[in-house]
Amino acid sequence: MTTSLSMPKMSDMEVPQVIIDDVRTYLSDMPMYNRIMDVNADTGEESSDSKISLALRKVVDRFNSMPPILDIKYNVISFPAQSLLLDGAIVELLRMQGILASRNKLTFQDSNFQVSLGDKAQEYMAWAQQLQTAFEQTMRDTKVAFNVMAGIAHLPSPLELSSWNRG
């Protein structure tokens, strides 16, 4: 954990491959599962390592900058709750894919036959919204708990208080 008050830049945070792999596993973003999706032809994956890294760094940056502001600034490796980091990264990835899908949507029709390509935007955004609510609440609760623990660590004991009163 870094105790500096200066905020690490998102681009300065390195993301270990094992964490990227955890996100990819959770999303089942592997060639064997991406049978009918528009995926990277080389890897068979929907989300590149760089997208997953960005999502992870974004969660850390958001956690560090949301109130209550803590003296400790986390990075991807020192993040206090890996499950929270994973959940937040998944929300970010779903939003990224939803934006991409909405930008690349194509519908065409010939006679009575209609085909839609890339029409998953609403599904991605619905999943992102559903997971976002639980993630946001857990993130707020975690920050408040850390803030309370930091405050309790600095509370004087009754003995200290009585000695202050005696002067």
Q: What's the pLDDT tens digit per position in 111-159?
A: 888 776 667 778 888 888 999 999 999 999 998 888 888 776 555 666 6
Spatial contact of 131 and 91, defined as CB atoms under 8 Å apart: yes
Residue 27 lies in a domain: yes
The span from the CA of 95 to the CA of 1, in Å, is: 29
pTM of this prediction exceeds 0.75: no
What is the C-alpha R_g of the chain? 22
Residue 2 lies in a domain: no
> What is the pLDDT at residue 4?
45
Spatial contact of 7 and 73, defined as CB atoms under 8 Å apart: yes
β partners of residue 106: 117
Q: Roughly how many angstroms between the first and final C-alpha of the chain, as a whole number?
A: 38
Residue 1 lies in a domain: no
Residue 5 lies in a domain: no
Alpha helices, DSSP H, located in the chain: 17-26, 49-65, 82-103, 121-152, 158-166
CA 42 to chain centre: 26
pLDDT values of the chain reduced to their tens digit, one per residue, 167 residues: 444 445 455 555 688 888 888 888 887 776 666 655 555 556 667 788 888 999 999 999 999 999 888 888 999 999 989 999 999 999 999 898 888 777 766 677 788 887 766 677 788 888 889 999 999 999 999 988 888 887 765 556 666 666 655 55
Mapped onto helix, strand or coil, the DSSP state of residue 73 is: strand
β partners of residue 155: none
Q: What is the CB-side half-sphere exposure of residue 75 using CA atoms within 13 A?
A: 17
The span from the CA of 12 to the CA of 4, in Å, is: 15
By residue range, what is the domain housing residue 58?
10-166
> 140 φ, ψ to 5°?
-60, -45
Please tell me the total count of domains within the chain.
Answer: 1
> What is the pLDDT at residue 99?
81
Residue 57 lies in a domain: yes
